[in-house]
Copies of this chain bind each other. A is one copy, B any other.
C-alpha cells in the first residue's frame, strides 16, 4: 500500500545495498531525482537493470553504487558515449562493473515475464546475433507443438523498481501517460516500487484504459516536481537537450565528473537543493 513519503525516506527504507534495482523510463519520465538520492545515500553493490542506461545510470555507475548492469542500449541519446559506463566496463573505475547484455525486445519481454510471475520469457529473437555467445542467459527452447526454436531469457524481477509519473492522488494511485515505455511492467515485476510524481491531486481524472498503477501495487509515492529533469514529463516540461550535450564534457574525465556529482548531488540535501545549485552553476557557466 502506497505511503506518500519524502523521497529520502523511500530510498532509505526501500532500497537496500545489494538489491537489484530498475530505474525505468524510455527517454520520457526518467527518475533522475531518485537516481540522485541513491547516490546521495551511498547505496552500494546494486545490480542495476535498465533498457537504456543513459545519464542516470552513468551518474550512478560513476558514483560507485553498482556492481552489475543488465541493459540493452547504453549511450547518451543523440550525443554519443556514456563515459562513466565505458570507464567502469573498460577500466574498472571506480569499481569493476559486471554486465549482462540483451536486445531491447528481450528485456522488454523479460519485464513482461517478471510482471507475469513467469521465470522466463520466450521471443523470436537473437537469431544470427553473437549475443547468445557472450550471454549464457540467452538460451533456446522448442515449441512443444510445432518444434520451432525460440529464444528464452530469464524474467526480470527486481527487488525495487523506481519510476517517475505525472500524477498521483492523495491515496497513492498513480497515473502516467505519453511514452509509457516498460514502466508498468517494471513496477509489477518488482517486489517493491517507488514512484516519484510531478503532482499530487485530489482526483486522478484518468481517461478510460489509462496507465494507472493502483496504490496497493506501489510501496511509496514521493512528490518530486521536476524529478525527471533533464528528461521530460509530457504536459509538464520538456527535455533539456542542452544538458544531455553538456553531460558529454562533464562526464569525460573522472575529475570533472566527481566534482559535478559532489557539488550537485553528494553535497546537496535533496532534489530541491540540487535544483537551486544546478541553476546557479548553469547560470555562472553561461555567463563565462
List residues of A whose CB falls within 8 A of some B CB: 117-120, 122-124, 137, 139, 141, 143-146, 148, 150, 152, 154, 177-178, 180, 207-211, 234
Most buried by B among A139, A144, A146, A180: A144
Q: Which residues of B contact A177 (CB under 8 A)?
A: 208-209
Going nearest first, the 9 A-B pairs with the smallest beta carbon separation are A207-B207, A177-B208, A119-B143, A119-B146, A139-B144, A145-B154, A120-B143, A144-B152, A119-B148
Please report the C-alpha to C-alpha distance between residue A148 and residue B117 in the assembled complex, in whole angstroms.
12
Given A120-B145, A144-B152, 5 more contacts at CB 8 Å?
Answer: A119-B148, A120-B144, A145-B152, A207-B210, A208-B210
Please report the C-alpha to C-alpha distance between residue A210 and residue B148 in the assembled complex, in whole angstroms.
34
A237 CB, nearest partner CB in chain B, Å: 17
A93 CB, nearest partner CB in chain B, Å: 32
- Do B124 and A145 touch across chains, with their CB atoms under 8 A apart? no
Please report the C-alpha to C-alpha distance between residue A146 and residue B180 in the assembled complex, in whole angstroms.
30
- Do B145 and A144 touch across chains, with their CB atoms under 8 A apart? no
- Do A117 and B122 touch across chains, with their CB atoms under 8 A apart? no
A211-B210 contact in complex given A120-B143, A120-B144, C-beta closer than 8 Å:
no
Please report the C-alpha to C-alpha distance between residue A132 and residue B146 in the assembled complex, in whole angstroms.
18
Instruction: From B118, B150, B178, B211, give the contact of A150 (CB < 8 A).
Output: B118
Please report the C-alpha to C-alpha distance between residue A211 and residue B207 in the assembled complex, in whole angstroms.
11
Please report the C-alpha to C-alpha distance between residue A119 and residue B146 in the assembled complex, in whole angstroms.
7
